[in-house]
Structure 1
Amino acid sequence: MNMDSIQVSFTGGKRIQAKVGDYTIETDQPLKYGGEASAPAPFDLFLASLATCAGIYAWNFCESRKLSTEGMDLRMDCVNDEKKKMIVKVIFRLTLPDGFPEKYRSGIVRAMELCAVKRHMMDTPEFSFDLV
């Protein structure tokens, strides 16, 4: 079994960094939660990973078929349940390029549904917390 690691550093205040390969991702909390709002909150990055993952699957679908991506746009909206404080529905709104072939409309949706982030949400991994 392969294991990927992300190293997390506490950099002051509510700011936390994650080292992912050669990249450093900055996070902070919003002002209302005691942060400085100097970077996206961790949950915002989670949502962004879902949206960008669906986006790259749509883009790859077009690229593999030599279809134009000019004017293609993706918006992800989240419907929240205020009682549960949870997202209950995620809506992807893909604006297709002008002249996008009708025969590929359902295919690009199926491609976006293959997004690895979404699949991990649907088939959740086991979580373990070890203290060292």
Structure 2
Amino acid sequence: MALINVSFPGGVQVNANVAGFDILTDQPEANGGTNAAINPFYLFLSSLATCSGFFALRFCQQRDLPTTGLGLTLDAERDEETHALKKVRMKLQLPADFPDKYKKAILRAAEQCAVKKALENPPEIQMVTE
């Protein structure tokens, strides 16, 4: 059984079922879509941000540190001609009362994200037909 099953419900929508969860994607109207769901590229970037955020959150929870005000933003820079991803910058917002002694450690924790590690050491990707 496949880890992820993809379906094509209509238009340019491409959906995935992962472990019983449905993920819906679409394209902006400019790309022939209806903008009814996130596009796959933003979903990819969101997985990087949420994975890093999870590690930051767990770092705080495991140490009984405050999480109110904890947040993360992600900005991506793409090449104007090729649209290739050039740079990703994530910024971790810490709670106002976050202890200084943990600031470097929480960054190291957030960098343990499996998605980030996969990008740093990309796997071989094969495409075959059935």
TM-score interval, normalised by the smaller of the two chains: over 0.9
Partners of 2:56 and 2:31 lie apart in 1 by 35
4+ runs deviating over 6 angstroms: none
In the alignment, residue 131 of structure 1 is paired with which amino acid?
Answer: T
Unaligned stretches of 5+ residues in structure 1: none
Partner deviation per Cα, 1:15-66 (whole Å, 9 max, x = no partner): 1110001111000111111111110011110010001011001001101111
2:16 is paired with a residue whose SS is: strand
**Which among 60, 81, 84 is matched to residue 83 of structure 1?**
81
1:104 is paired with a residue whose SS is: helix
Partner deviation per Cα, 1:85-109 (whole Å, 9 max, x = no partner): 1221111111100111111000001
Unaligned stretches of 5+ residues in structure 2: none
Matches within 5 A, 1:36-51: 36-51=34-49
Partners of 1:72 and 1:19 lie apart in 2 by 30
**Which among 66, 71, 74 is matched to residue 72 of structure 2?**
74
In the alignment, residue 60 of structure 2 is paired with which amino acid?
Answer: C
Partners of 1:84 and 1:110 lie apart in 2 by 32
Matches within 5 A, 1:48-127: 48-127=46-125
Let me know the Cα RMSD of the aligned residues: 1.3
In the alignment, residue 5 of structure 1 is paired with which amino acid?
Answer: L
Of 85-94 and 5-14, deviating more is 85-94
